[in-house]
Structure 1
Amino acid sequence: MSTAAAPSDTRTAPHSRLRRAVPGAALALAVAAVATVVGRVIPVLGAPVAAVLLGAALATALRPARRWPGTATGFALTGGVALQVAVVLLGSQLSLGQAWAVGRSSIPVMFGTMAVCFGAAALFGKWLGIESTLRTLLGVGTAICGASAIAAVTPVLRPKPSTVAYALSTVFVFNVAAVLTFPWLGHMLDMGQHAFGVFAGTAVNDTSSVVAAAVTYGDEATRTAVVVKLTRALMIVPVVLVLAYVVARRRPTTADAPRPRATKLVPWFLVGFVALAGLNSIVPFPADLRSTLGLASTLLITWALAAIGLSTDLSALRRTGWTPLLFGGLLWITVSASSLGIQALTTGLH
């Protein structure tokens, strides 16, 4: 009898987990819906960041994971699967041909700022004593594309929800700073439309903030900034691969748990991301489909980050202190300065 029952238990276990996940997933979805409205009302904030902030506030007020223990399963599942599917759908927004046509002049600036940012993250992170996972999240978020990059590396690094929340909040603070100061700085330096678009696309993180910074400068600046930003997002691919390799190398190996083969280090969602971007490059998606897939990706990221916010322990953030915010500020200033400097040396600011 016991041997006959085992297969049935194995088969029903996933269904049982899904049933347990429903309350937490539903609560996260409700928070995501509110965050979507907030993101539309305050575009510079954006729905994903609003979701993690609202979720963290609700977690502090209600402590849902403690009051309703079953919600923790839903938070964990939503924060993982929804985030991974969202990363796959991000590939639909990239066309390698378009990126090359508009972004080739900005490639030295993009690669230069990323190299400078990663170097600064290692240097400042050690100097300030920033915990390695938070250092990596802030470095990747600042170097590549903010919340999307943090979302892409989260399934690989598996950080604590409080660490993700802190990284997202820090990146948001300096996105707002960029939106407020970059147009003024561009006019002060008498930057041309294309030059400012490259600057905004390489030194501002999330797409909504890139648009908000560039739209007041001009239409050409906005178009250039968005394409540069999307081209920059392609760097998610090698960064995730490198991090997956580093994480696997750091895991202890035993006879029972040998180090995985190279093919096992490639996350499935990264394969999906590259496949969708490649397909869009060969057979460009219609604008309506691309818009729909982009919206679906944003909604899934918002849902996942709401779940992460609901899992956040704000007391852990308080214990972390202000040092990571200083670290994020140093990275932001470094990337902004290097973007202007490299562009001045290569193509000029006018």
Structure 2
Amino acid sequence: MYSYNNKKLHNTGALLRLDNTSRKIIFIIGCILCLTPAAGPATALLGGLLIAQFIGHPYLHLNHKATHFLLQASVVGLGFGMNAASAWQAGKAGVLFTISSITITFILGFLLSRWLNIEKKTSYLISSGTAICGGSAIAAIAPVIRANEKQISVALGCVFVLNSVALFAYPTIGHYLKLSQTQFGLWCAIAIHDTSSVVGAASKYGPHALEVATTVKLARALWIIPIAFLSSNFFGKRNEKVTMPYFIGLFVLALVVNTYVPAVSSLAPVIVHIAKAGLTLTLFLIGAGLSRQVLASVGFKPLLQGLILWLAISVVSLFAIITLS
């Protein structure tokens, strides 16, 4: 979920040379399939990746706006399938893990940037995306530290590549370790970067895992605000505008209405079904935006930093969750 439009990444680099009409038809068919029960989150992401690599996204210039809106609307819709009391308990359970993991991620990110000799702002954006909520954090913090297009491109590419891996890997690992839905939901919210992949992975694991993961992840996303203010002081760029994640308030309103307004209960399942379909489509669009140019722009050292950060927070948080649960 990001709103940064990087023109340098708009070259599709597709392998199959089709006319524009054919590309649009194939792409639209893919979008329609994502709205059917036949497509799940992982399938949609994989389908999008195949589109990006072999055909090319015919509407790439609109992709960031579409994913930004669809993800936010889908997350709000998922709120109608949750209970306020259980969501509150899940949020409280994740506070300590959230604070600890954010702190560890930024410290380790700083040390890795010095060791790998990575440009400071690029490294900081990768750490921010890993620590908080992926592309959303990068999009919010980038203007605060006045990062340039290349720095943002590298950070976003790194986060989305690792997100794609996480969406496939986490449910498999969770089932292998026989994690409970509460444990898996908490682990997803802490260790997977972007909200879309968190919700996608958790929805595959079970309804309670989805509730825990969504609640904890959105509570985690609120850390964008203090981190952005601290960033402005750290980089000496004070008084820059900080974007607030307003959709989180709408999500909270949705789950409160679902809990305390009985008249909504009959519509809630329909809204949640639509929201899950919207999320699946969002993942398809994110995959379709990962062209070969995007992947190539990341570079080895930034990707290595992102990978080490991701693996470290994944292993440490998983160990803590299993030990303390």
Give the structure 2 partner of residue 47 of structure 1: 44
Amino acid at match of 2:134: I
Indicate the residue corresponding to 2:249 in structure 1. Answer: 274
One-letter identity of the residue aligned with 2:72: V
Where does residue 79 of structure 2 map in the other structure? 94
**Structure 1 residue 238, shift from structure 2 partner:** 1.2
Q: Give the share of equivalent positions with the same residue, in percent.
A: 10
- Cα pair 2:80 2:268 within 8 Å, conserved: no
1:118 equivalent in alignment to 2:102 = yes
The equivalent residue for 1:239 is 223
1:169 offset after TM fit, Å? Answer: 2.2
Cα pair distance change 1:241/1:27, threshold 3 Å: farther
Q: Is the 8 A contact 1:99 1:230 kept in 2?
A: no
How far does residue 266 in structure 1 lie from its aligned partner after superposition? 4.0
Structure 1 gaps, min length 5: 1-22, 65-70, 141-148, 215-221, 254-258, 344-350
Pair 1:336 & 2:313 matched: no
Report which stretch shifted further, 324-333 or 296-305: 296-305
Distance 1:294 1:287 in 2: 11
Could you tell me which residue of structure 2 aligns to residue 316 of structure 1?
Answer: 297
Compared with structure 1, are the counterparts of its residues 329 and 97 closer, same or farther at alpha carbon in structure 2 (3 Å cutoff)?
A: closer
Mapped pair 1:139 → 2:131: yes
Q: Is the 8 A contact 1:93 1:277 kept in 2?
A: no
Q: For the Cα contact (< 8 Å) 1:201–1:228, is it kept in 2?
A: yes
Map 1:1-350 to 2 at 5 A: 31=27, 34=30, 43=40, 45-48=42-45, 51=48, 53-54=49-50, 57-58=53-54, 75-79=60-64, 81-89=65-73, 90-94=75-79, 98-101=83-86, 104=89, 106-129=90-113, 131-140=123-132, 149-157=133-141, 160-186=152-178, 196-204=180-188, 205=192, 206-212=198-204, 214=205, 222-246=206-230, 250=235, 252=237, 259=239, 265-267=242-244, 270-275=245-250, 277-282=252-257, 283=261, 284=264, 285-300=267-282, 302-303=284-285, 306-307=288-289, 309-310=290-291, 312-320=293-301, 321-343=303-325
What secondary structure is seen at the aligned counterpart in 2 of 1:235? Answer: helix
Matched residue type, 1:342: L
Structure 1 residues 281 and 171, CA gap change in structure 2 (3 angstroms):
same
Whichever structure has more helix as a proportion of its residues is: 1
C-alpha separation between the residues in 2 aligned to 1:286 and 1:317? 41
Distance, in Å, in 2 between the alignment partners of 1:54 and 1:112 is 39
CA distance 1:116–1:300, shift in 2 (3 Å): same
Instruction: Name the amino acid aligned to 1:121.
Output: T
Write the distance in 1 (CA, Å) between the matches of 2:286 and 2:200: 18
- Distance across 2 between alignment mates of 1:208 and 1:240: 21
Aligned partners of 1:152, 1:125: CA distance in 2, in Å? 18
TM-score, length-normalised on structure 1?
0.62
Amino acid across the alignment from 1:324: G
- RMSD between superposed Cα atoms in Å: 3.9
Contact 1:96 1:281 (8 Å CA) reproduced: no
Indicate if the aligned counterparts of 2:76 and 2:254 stay in contact, CA closer than 8 A: no
Deviation of residue 338 (structure 1)? 1.7
- Say if 1:202 and 1:229, in contact at 8 Å, map to a contact too: yes
User: Is the contact made by 1:84 and 1:155 (CA closer than 8 Å) also made in structure 2?
Assistant: no
Deviation at 1:155, TM superposition (A): 3.5
